[in-house]
Amino acid sequence: MELIEQAKSVLTQNLTLKSHESALIVTDDNKQDIAELFYQAGQTITTNIAIIKMATLSKSGEEPPKIVSTSMKQADVVLCVTEHSLTHTQARKQASAQGARVATMPGVTLDMLEHGAISADYTEVQALTKEYCDILEQGEIVEIKKEQTYLTFSIHDRPSISSTGVFTEKGQSGNVPSGESYIAPIEDSANGQVMIDGSISNIGVLTEPVLLTIKDGRLTDATGEQGKQLLALLGDGPGRTIAEFGIGTNKKARLTGNVLEDEKVYGTVHIAFGSNKSFGGVTEAGVHIDCVIKSPDVWIDQKKIF
């Protein structure tokens, strides 16, 4: 009952679900038990609710079956409780365009429902997220230094995205739990190396740092066994293109190996590769993989923000 009450809190506080609205819970074979908690909680709010289950997708950013994407466009509120992320898919983008409020919870666990990022002060999260979004919105050149590595790229004329985990207006979307300010870099602008020492989505907390080499926006090399796993996930095509730069803004978030929470940790940044057309970029790759960096030095237009 405690977990159902926490699920109800997500539906009412984060998604602001009302009794007259329709809701759809999207899940898969891996996360159906947790999705059922949200379905039961939703039934106490609205009678116009449904749950749809699909086979577990192979990676984040992969499109769901057409029957799922079609159903998503027909609801007022959509909650995606899945193993891999639907955040940067056309299915999510099209549902948002139809006015649905969409929250994605890739890899969510029972522990996350009770502890960590979901218990944050979301007034504080909203304030921090806005602060960093304003910096990104006005920025042009980002520089990241971690130990002896240095990476630079352009964010000129790209919109910043606020992911607060609170959705009140038609078409709003993002992760729950959340706390992230992010932006799509100019795709061919990234050059240098960066040390990833936190986690990588679909891989988990790293056993050793992974050194990434990026030339003209394309990931050309990644060290170690987990680096090989990253390259395999991204493939040899557009999946290797830099897609995102994000800043964590949730002080309750923990580094657990689950990117849903990892990329929200305050004091971290992340870069991602693959699809970014859904938030201001031009790449459609069928994959989107985030790489979290702990306590880096970051400058935007030569002003140090970390």
* DSSP assignment string, 32-68: HHHHHHHHHHHHTT-S-EEEEEEPPPSSTTPPPPHHH
Examine the domain organization and report whether 92 and 174 are in the same domain.
no
Q: How many structural domains compose the chain? A: 2
Examine the domain organization and report whether 110 and 123 are in the same domain.
no
In angstroms, rounded to a whole number, what is the distance separating the alpha carbons of residues 229 and 130?
34
Q: 114, 137, 152: which is the final residue of a domain?
A: 114
Residue 259 scores a pLDDT above 90: no
> What range does the domain containing 274 cover?
118-304
Examine the domain organization and report whether 173 and 274 are in the same domain.
yes
Examine the domain organization and report whether 63 and 171 are in the same domain.
no
Examine the domain organization and report whether 174 and 214 are in the same domain.
yes
In angstroms, rounded to a whole number, what is the distance separating the alpha carbons of residues 286 and 90?
9
Examine the domain organization and report whether 94 and 136 are in the same domain.
no
Q: Dump pLDDT digits (tens) for 179-216.
A: 999 999 999 999 999 999 999 999 999 999 999 999 99
Examine the domain organization and report whether 257 and 299 are in the same domain.
yes
In angstroms, rounded to a whole number, what is the distance separating the alpha carbons of residues 282 and 187?
8
Please tell me whether the overall predicted TM-score, pTM, comes out greater than 0.75 for this model.
yes
Examine the domain organization and report whether 160 and 110 are in the same domain.
no
Q: In the structure, how many helices (H) and strands (E) does the chain have?
A: 8, 19
Q: 70, 88, 114: which is the final residue of a domain?
A: 114
Q: 79, 114, 149: which is the final residue of a domain?
A: 114
Examine the domain organization and report whether 292 and 179 are in the same domain.
yes
Q: Dump pLDDT digits (tens) for 77-125.
A: 999 999 999 998 999 999 999 999 999 999 999 998 888 898 888 889 9
Q: Dump pLDDT digits (tens) for 27-86.
A: 999 999 999 999 999 999 999 999 999 999 999 999 999 999 999 999 999 999 999 999
